[in-house]
């Protein structure tokens, strides 16, 4: 699957100056993981017709949000109470999810 997400979009989400390149490798890694996670969550059948130019912006936003989450929360253990933020990733991706009834 081809996404239209790039490091500069993620940097804007995280308020990182585009000229700062010290974290580019880890940001790209988190984008790759987020893109794969979105693909697995939605199922490949429902998204194979999209390209980088036709990808719904809600899917791109979900990728950016998830990659930003991975960047800001790099550990398995949280020192704060963890809970799912309503109406974010799942809300953005559920319309594109390939539900299989068996």
Q: 25-51: per-residue pLDDT in tens?
A: 999 999 988 888 888 888 765 566 676
What is the per-residue pLDDT for 50?
74
Domain assignment of residue 54, given as a range: 7-96
Q: Map tokens 């199922």 to a residue.
A: 43
Mean confidence (pLDDT) of the chain? 79
Query: How much of the chain is helix, strand and coil, in % rounded to 5?
Result: 50, 0, 50
Indicate the number of domains in the chain: 1
Examine residue 1 and state whether it is found in any structural domain, yes or no: no
Question: Which residue has better confidence, 58 or 48?
Answer: 58
Q: Map tokens 């899917």 to a residue.
A: 59
- Identify the DSSP state of 88: S
pLDDT tens digits along 61-76: 988 999 998 898 776 6
**Please, what is the angle between helix 7-14 and helix 57-72, to 10°?**
60
**Strand, helix or coil for residue 92:** helix
Can you give the CATH number for the domain in which 67 is found?
1.10.3230
Examine residue 2 and state whether it is found in any structural domain, yes or no: no
Examine residue 49 and state whether it is found in any structural domain, yes or no: yes
Examine residue 101 and state whether it is found in any structural domain, yes or no: no
């Amino acid at each position: 699957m081809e996404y239209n997400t790039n490091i500069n979009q993620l940097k804007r989400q995280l308020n990182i100056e585009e000229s700062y390149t010290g974290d580019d490798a880890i940001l790209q890694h988190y984008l790759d993981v987020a893109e794969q996670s979105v693909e697995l969550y939605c199922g490949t059948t429902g998204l194979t017709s999209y390209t980088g130019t036709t990808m719904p912006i809600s899917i791109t936003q979900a990728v950016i949000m998830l990659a930003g989450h991975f960047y800001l929360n790099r550990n398995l253990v949280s020192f704060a109470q963890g809970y799912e933020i309503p109406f974010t990733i799942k809300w953005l991706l559920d319309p594109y999810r390939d539900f299989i009834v068996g």
